[in-house]
Structures are given as structure tokens and as C-alpha cells.
Amino acid sequence: MNARFIDWIWHIRGSLPLAPGQSRDDAFDRLAPLFHQTGTSHERGDDTLRFSKKDQAAQDRMSVFDGGTLRIENGAAGSVLRYHMTSRALLFCFLAPLLFLAFAQLNITLGKMEKPAAEEAAKKDKDADKKKPEVAMNPIDKFLGAPAPDKPKKDKPKEEDKKHSPTSAYVFAGIFATLYVIGRILEDRKIRSLIRRNLLG
């Protein structure tokens, strides 16, 4: 399978045209402040800038990314900046729902496996209750007109279904799936806007 079919999950790519007459050096100089952040290292070549991040600060506007490449190429309509960035945070948010769905399926399977045993135990308890003799009323209490004692209440059936309910797993899967979709769209737009704003100065 071609990696490009799946790497869109945690890779963000895009391109922006440079202003007419803007040089490569000027473009990279304008972008340089983005990479002068705590935990960020970068190296700059003639037409390429590569960066990587480790233990990036939360206030870093590119903190969601772990590394990437920015390259300036000559196009028919002028110079174009192409960027390619990777994010482990996006990958985690994509994989987390799959993990929780696996937990949900495991809970369903365990519930099905334990159901026959629970039904058998409930049946035995019911049979035992039937065999228990009813408690006779004391003759003195009967003579004095005391009400007959209530029959012992049966215990409520154990809620085995709740024990292995997949609901919580489904909820967390939905939360992380939503986070991924929102994050993937917002981060794409955010980095594009950030680069454009810096290029324009």
C-alpha cells in the first residue's frame, strides 16, 4: 500500500505563492521567528528549511507539529513555498477511537461469555427460594392480631450487563474522533494562515 494513502492522517501538506519579486532569503527570514521557539531546532539550506520539535512549549503556535520541511520551488506563475509537516498528536487522536472501540467489543464479548453463568446462578437462587419453607407465625402474635410477617424480598438480579457495558468506551471513542476531525481541519487552516501572515510581514 502506498504510504500517501494513509499518511494524510498525521501529515499536513500545502503550498503558498510568494509575493512577486520576493526572494528565497527574504521568505525564510520572515518565517524564521516561527522556529526560534523553545524545543525547536532547524536547519536552513538554499531552498529548504527543515525543523524538528521536542518538548515544545504549549504557547508555541506550532506546538502540535513534531517536525517538517518547507521548500521554495520555481513555478510557472512564480516562486511557491511548499510545506510538509507531521504531528504525533493527530495520529494519537486518530488511533484512540479505534482503541476504545476494541475495548467496547471486548466488553461485549466478555458479557456474552458470562451471561450463561449468570443465568444459571440466578436459576439456582430461584430454585433455592422455592424450597425454603415459609416462616410460621408465632401463635401469640397471631392471637394478639399482629400482622403476618412479610415474605423475604428477593435480591435484585445482578446487573452483569452494566458491568461489561460498552457505553463508556463508545463515548470516549466519539470524543477522540471529534477531536481528530476538528483538529485536522483547524490545524491545516491554522498553519496555512500562520505561514501566509509571516510571509506578508
CATH class of 3-88+188-200: alpha beta
Q: What is the pLDDT of residue 82?
A: 96
Amino acid at 117: A
Per-residue pLDDT of the chain (201 residues; tens, 9 = 90+): 566 678 899 999 999 999 998 999 999 999 999 999 999 999 999 999 999 999 988 899 999 999 999 999 988 788 999 999 999 999 999 999 999 999 999 988 888 887 776 667 666 666 665 665 565 666 766 666 667 666 655 555 455 556 678 899 999 999 999 999 999 999 999 999 999 999 987
Q: What is the pLDDT of residue 113?
A: 82
Q: What is the pLDDT of residue 115?
A: 73
Q: What is the pLDDT of residue 178?
A: 96
Laid out side by side, the sheet with 40-44 consists of 11-17, 78-86, 67-75, 48-53, 40-44
What's the first-to-final CA gap in the chain, in angstroms?
41
Q: What is the pLDDT of residue 147?
A: 73
The domain ranges of the chain are: 3-88+188-200
Bridge partners of 79, per DSSP, are 74
